[in-house]
């Protein structure tokens, strides 16, 4: 089974940067079928897609509303991928998840 385990710093203050890591087991992050995503869910609201990366070719896509503040990257040697969101505001308060839809894998939330 493919498993995703996300980790982050916990509480981050407004104006600071958030970096989250997602460790992948059960499949290579460079698998050509796999599309690695970050999403988030603010309290009481629907899921919001943030960014995705194709680690086998380096392709990256971002939500237009967040593109100027988001970086997504992968470390193929460690089989993990990460998200950085800069200049946090109160609107960024949410639970963040890493996901991969082809394998139907969903990491536990990182607040």
Report pLDDT digits (tens) over 26-80: 999 999 889 999 999 999 999 999 999 998 888 999 999 999 999 999 999 999 9
Q: Are 81 and 29 in contact (CB under 8 A)?
A: yes
pLDDT of 111 above 70? no
pLDDT given for residue 42 in this prediction: 92
pLDDT given for residue 49 in this prediction: 97
CA distance 61 to 72: 9
Name the residue ranges covered by the structural domains of the chain.
Answer: 3-106
| pTM beyond 0.85 | yes
Sheet holding 3-7, edge to edge: 3-7, 18-25, 80-85, 70-75
Residue-wise DSSP of 4-24: EEEE--S---TTS-EEEEEEE
Task: Taking residues 73-89, report their average pLDDT.
Answer: 96
pLDDT given for residue 47 in this prediction: 94
> CA separation (Å) from 84 to 4, 12, 26, 49, 69?
17, 12, 24, 14, 8
Highest CATH level, class, for 3-106? mainly beta
Q: What are phi and psi of 67, to 5 degrees?
A: -55, -35
């Amino acid at each position: 089974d493919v498993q995703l385990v996300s980790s982050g710093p916990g509480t981050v203050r407004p104006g600071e940067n958030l970096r989250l890591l997602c460790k992948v087991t059960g499949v290579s992050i460079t698998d050509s079928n796999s599309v690695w995503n970050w999403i988030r869910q603010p309290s009481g609201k629907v899921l919001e897609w943030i960014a995705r990366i194709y680690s086998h070719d380096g392709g990256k896509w971002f939500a237009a509303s967040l593109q100027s503040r988001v970086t997504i990257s992968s470390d193929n040697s460690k089989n993990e991928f990460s998200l950085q969101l800069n200049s946090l505001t109160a609107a960024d308060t949410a639970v963040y998840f890493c996901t991969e839809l082809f394998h139907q894998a969903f990491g536990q939330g990182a607040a």
